Chains A and B, each alone.
Chain A
């Protein structure tokens, strides 16, 4: 393993020496924006540290502001003082940033490394390039976890999304995110709407009311969360029986903290997280960011990230390279949302739909919550 690593590092050094002539024109520091926590740690370990080894003179500063990246970038842009160089955002935010002209457009084939077998970057990322400004890193999913010790006796463990809405068989509190996205889809699915029709139904006022009515059947049993850490904490404290959150959070509660929690993968909603480059960077900083980005989004780096966190790499070519957890030594593949066993029934976040309907449905959802 050591030998392999050193060989690959040497190979990288050789490869990078070809481009290092441009180093003079590149800024020597970079501000990366991410989410903090385990996710940022995985990025540091997989991309930032190796990059710093190759370029010891570069300083990388992290800013844990991805949560409010859209608002902050807009404010920076209005003040004409963008201090960030590369920003990690979820795809929906990338779409908005692109719409608002706050993110730079990307030409994947020109700016990103091709796959080792020669597949162009654009084909390697495929459908996951949901916006012109977005370079996806990982596929994560919003899904349910439940406490294994709270399953009533004589009842099989929940394995269907509609078990969330079945408070008679599975009594106990649920935690759901305090926003309409995902909840409305799940509610419709469990109210007899076919998977392919969900968004058509949700586009109509009647469909929105139908979803809210379905949610109303469990409203008294729901604790609404707004931070990704809430559900794992609520599950760990036994406050709720089941709850939705990002699969990586549940992974660390189950595997790293050994809590009596299990996954309910059914109808998990896939979403993407990735980089955007803020619009209007000066040339030297842009050159540095491009250099880093090319490295950080290549096939090996994306596969490396999966050693530290249970999110699937966004490149098709990275999937076979996913190995074991860096510290625990367990196989990561079965914990990936994209694993065939886990992804029997999945949903892909519909970005265009929510870009249009978000404000409208959110107003109704919040009014419904306040009732």
Chain B
């Protein structure tokens, strides 16, 4: 080490050996990665991504701000604790947003979403959607009487058109696109005029929405179509605003006469508020409760589904427990865990002797026994469960035999199914192979000579088994238990068929919310909780038993 300028070791090609080695290793790693790449990509695309996008629904709540962008913004300042209704500005936004949504048929979707939080909102949105035209016509009819030009689609087009309102158009287009969830790209054939937009802000919004929908979705020419009723309603809104009225007085562009006539005859227009109009459509709009629900759920993300999944709810005063007669999920989670543990335990008790026999009988008999274990495993799950139904029901095989033998009185036959007992019996049977097979593969590797050695050293049968054999079979029990427990906790079909009411699992509720109530957010929240619980238990298991002690095969 006297020479400080240490010479590098070179490989055969003259490069430093270290670098050359690293490169070779990297190449190897890349090759390995390439080999598993098809599987990896497959798993990510078909498994990981869908699962996470499903789980994401448990917090996602974009439908509310996307469908009612104006309302949710205007509602932000409203204080629900006062018990007063929001001001008319909110109702005006509601009219513009709802009209647009009802044209695109998304208002009922929002209604279904909010109905999960407050009963009655589904029909509130559905029925109001039908009455929006009537509200607009309250203004349309007198406006057309004041100046017949208002009947003419081409007149409206000419009046609203300009050259400088591109930004406004794009803003409304984006709002539309996020609401319907698809692109609204294309030529609208209309650009709002900024002068009009400043003078008549509500009308411009409504008309721009109309123009976008007409041109892009209906594929009609905007100038040839009569505007939506909402445009007249919006003009009514503008005419109550002193600034707009003043601007109209000094306006001299196209349509100035008609607008001035409308201002002059403003007393012919309905002297009412949009709040009153919505109240006429459905008095639920005048309930502050409806509005606080909308306000509570107007953010893009919501903890609401998760709270629901643990029997809590979001209220204006913070998070609260649900009323007792609606609490169900905590109980179901507990039941699922307890029953899965019972099933796992009974699988161990029943499976251990069978696996021992399998491992220790002579080859021929063991194969036969193996087939007996596997045969039900190869039979359809539904068939096996239905067979249990035939066996377990009150007029079923087991009860008949017991009555015939005189063990049970005919009048009080055992109730073996449509309760937790039925689920435990049927699921233990169905999951038993998942316990026996890992146990067997571990027991197969235990040398019989150990037992003989123990006995020859003076151990009784029990001591030999308990001190020598059993500890060696623990990895098999561990593997079998993990398999059975994790399968049991997510089981769905068997509890559904034989579980009745007290033997169903949380997965049955998840299935109900996925396929029947369509509350996918709640289903995703329940599923996420189940996933976290399983991972948590797995972690505990690793800490206590150690996952290295688990053997799935020899």
Contact = CB atoms under 8 A, between A and B. Distances in A.
B325 A367 contact: yes
Contact of A356 (B120, B396, B519): B120
B331 interface: yes
Interface string B161-198: 00000000000000000000000000000000000000
Nearest to B328: A367
Interface stretch (A4-12, A184-192, A269-277, A357-365): A357-365
B325 A366 contact: no
B411 to A, nearest CB: 11
A59 interface: no
B391 to A, nearest CB: 12
B109 A366 contact: no
Interface string B106-147: 101101100110011111001000000000000000000000
A367 B515 contact: no
B98 to A, nearest CB: 15
B501 interface: yes
A70 B326 contact: no
Interface in B515-544: 515-519
B517 A100 contact: no
A74 interface: yes
Interface string A340-367: 0000000000001001111110111011
A100 B394 contact: no
B332 interface: yes
B123 A74 contact: no
A238 interface: yes
B518 A96 contact: yes
Interface string A108-132: 0000000000000000000000000
B443 to A, nearest CB: 41
Contacts of B148: none
A356 B115 contact: yes
Interface string A44-81: 00000000000000000000000110110010000000
Contacts, number: 81
Contacts of B108: 98-101
B507 interface: no
Given A71-B518, A239-B393, A224 B119 contact: no
Interface residues of B, number: 36
A290 interface: no
B502 interface: yes
B265 interface: no
Nearest to B125: A99
A143 B350 CA distance: 44
Contact of A226 (B112, B393, B396, B496): B496
Interface in B300-333: 325-328, 331-332
B486 interface: no
With a 10 A CB-CB cut-off, give which of A223, A224, A355, A363 has the most chain B CB atoms: A363
Nearest to A208: B325
Nearest to A175: B418
A357 B514 contact: no
B500 interface: yes
Given A99-B109, A99-B112, A370-B501, A74 B328 contact: no
Given A238-B395, A239-B395, A367-B325, A359 B418 contact: no
Nearest to A209: B325
Given A237-B393, A239-B395, A356 B119 contact: yes
Given A99-B112, A100-B518, A224 B120 contact: no
Give chain A's interface residue range (CB within 8 Å of chain B).
20 to 34
Nearest to B53: A78
A17 to B, nearest CB: 33
Contacts of B519: 359
B551 interface: no
A366 B328 contact: yes
A324 interface: no
Contacts of B112: 96, 99-100
A199 to B, nearest CB: 12
Contacts of A173: 394
A258 B120 CA distance: 45
A364 B327 CA distance: 8
A224 B108 CA distance: 32
Contacts of B384: none
A71 B502 CA distance: 26
A101 B126 CA distance: 12
Contacts of A178: 501
B27 interface: no
B386 to A, nearest CB: 10
Contacts of A360: 119
Contact of B115 (A67, A71, A359, A368): A359
B115 A370 contact: no
Contact of B326 (A68, A101, A223, A367): A367
Contacts of A328: none
30 contacts: A70-B515, A70-B518, A71-B516, A98-B108, A99-B111, A99-B112, A100-B112, A100-B518, A101-B105, A101-B106, A173-B394, A224-B418, A237-B393, A237-B396, A355-B122, A356-B119, A356-B121, A357-B120, A358-B517, A359-B115, A359-B116, A360-B119, A362-B517, A364-B325, A366-B328, A367-B327, A370-B328, A370-B332, A370-B501, A370-B502
Given A100-B112, A100-B518, 5 more contacts: A96-B112, A99-B112, A356-B119, A356-B120, A363-B326
